[in-house]
């Protein structure tokens, strides 16, 4: 993979991380962010990975914005209404980023959450083969054995045995309407799994339609987290949806 000779430094931002999510990256995580930035700038020369390339904007929209919705898993205590019992450090934690594009939010989430959950395994899914080739090269360059990139359309692969009900959580940013996103994600999730929808503005109409869809999918909207981005002061909403744990079928002995 092409290495750019000069990569602009990302803004120093330790205090902002700490103030906004009670977490701050280690020097090696900062190094990973910087390397990822270089790879994205290089990849962007050959394909349209992202229009967000200016260092400050990249920091806010691709790094901070990717990690902020997972802050509950990075710091303690966790919100009481977000029971994370299935998330433990002693067994694999499997995540899927649907429509990952240039690897967002997946890469920054892997860099940050991976330090807390060493058994984190993340799949980056996108329907565009060219982006997947870029992601595979980036994974090899950054030496990330627990991340893999897969090409496919979510709605065409989510019932395949390798994917069906295999994931503890799905992330999905800038791919489709909320109700379409949950329809894409639900088959991938284990019972009790979590979908995290990254949204900008969020309206009551969107919530109503999402709740209607969730009734048929057997899911529950468990948390809506509204927040403002630290530099551009833009509105964000993070929507957390849990797939119900269905009771086991009753078996009768003869």
The residue ranges that bind ligand SAM (CB under 6 A) are 98-101, 104, 125-128, 131, 153-155, 173-175
Query: CA dihedral defined by 127, 133, 136, 140, rounded to 10 degrees?
Result: -170
114 is in an annotated binding site: no
Cβ nearer to ligand SAM, comparing 116 with 176: 176
Backbone torsions φ then ψ of 125, nearest 5 degrees: -110, 135
Shortest distance in whole angstroms from residue 131 CB to ligand SAM: 6
50 labelled as ligand-binding? Answer: no
| CA dist., res. 175 & res. 104, Å (int) | 11
The two structure tokens encoding residue 86: 């299935």
Output phi, psi for 249, to 5 deg: -60, 145
Tokens of 14: 């330790």
Cβ(45)–Cβ(134) below 8 Å = no
| Positive or negative: CA dihedral 18, 91, 245, 109 | positive
Indicate the residue among 25 and 101 with the shorter CB distance to ligand SAM: 101
Cβ proximity to ligand SAM: between 86 and 231 the closer is 231
Nearer to ligand SAM, 79 or 229 (CB): 229
Consult the annotation and say whether 66 binds a ligand.
no
**Listed residue (149, 158, 220) closest to 183, CA to CA:** 158
User: Is residue 91 marked as binding?
Assistant: no
Q: Which of residues 140 and 174 has its CB atom nearest to ligand SAM in the complex?
A: 174
Shortest gap between Cβ of 10 and ligand SAM (angstroms)? 17
Closer by beta carbon to ligand SAM, 78 or else 150: 150
Query: Closest separation between CB of residue 67 and ligand SAM, Å?
Result: 13
CB of 125 vs ligand SAM, minimal distance in Å? 6
What is the token pair recorded at 41? 């700038």
- The angle that helices 204-217 and 178-185 make with each other, rounded to 10 degrees, is 20
Residue 127 annotated as binding? yes
**174 appears as a binding residue in the annotation:** no
The answer to whether the annotation marks 104 as part of a ligand binding site is: yes
CB of 164 to ligand SAM, least distance (A): 15
Q: Both tokens of residue 74? A: 């990075």
Query: CB 169 → ligand SAM: shortest distance, Å?
Result: 15
155 is in an annotated binding site: yes
User: Which helix (H) or strand (E) is 97 found in, with range?
Assistant: strand 93-98
- Alpha-helical (H) ranges within 62-119 are 65-67, 71-74, 106-116
Query: Bridge partners of 199?
Result: 237
Annotated binding residues, written as ranges, equal 99, 104, 126-128, 154-155, 173
Annotated binding residues for S-adenosyl-L-methionine, written as ranges, equal 99, 104, 126-128, 154-155, 173
């Amino acid at each position: 993979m092409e290495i750019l000779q000069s990569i602009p430094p990302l803004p120093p931002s330790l205090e902002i991380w700490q103030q906004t999510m009670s977490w701050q990256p280690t020097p090696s995580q900062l190094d990973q962010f910087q390397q990822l930035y270089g790879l994205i700038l290089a990849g962007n020369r050959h394909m349209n990975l992202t229009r967000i390339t200016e260092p400050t904007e990249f920091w806010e929209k691709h790094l901070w914005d990717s990690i902020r919705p997972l802050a509950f898993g990075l710091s303690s205590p966790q919100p009481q209404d977000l029971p994370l019992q299935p998330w433990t450090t002693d067994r694999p934690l499997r995540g899927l980023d649907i429509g990952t594009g240039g690897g967002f939010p997946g890469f920054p989430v892997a860099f940050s959450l991976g330090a807390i959950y060493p058994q984190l395994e993340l799949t980056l899914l996108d329907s565009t083969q060219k982006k997947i080739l870029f992601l595979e090269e980036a994974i090899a360059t950054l030496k990330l054995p627990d991340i893999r990139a897969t090409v496919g359309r979510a709605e065409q692969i989510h019932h395949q045995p390798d994917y069906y009900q295999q994931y503890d959580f799905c992330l999905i940013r800038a791919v489709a309407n909320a109700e379409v996103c949950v329809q894409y994600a639900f088959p991938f999730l284990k019972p009790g799994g979590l979908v995290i929808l990254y949204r900008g503005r969020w309206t009551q109409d969107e919530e109503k339609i999402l709740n209607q869809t969730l009734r048929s999918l057997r899911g529950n909207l468990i948390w809506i987290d509204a927040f403002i981005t630290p530099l551009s002061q833009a509105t964000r909403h993070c929507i957390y949806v849990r797939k119900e744990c269905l009771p086991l079928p009753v078996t009768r002995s003869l």
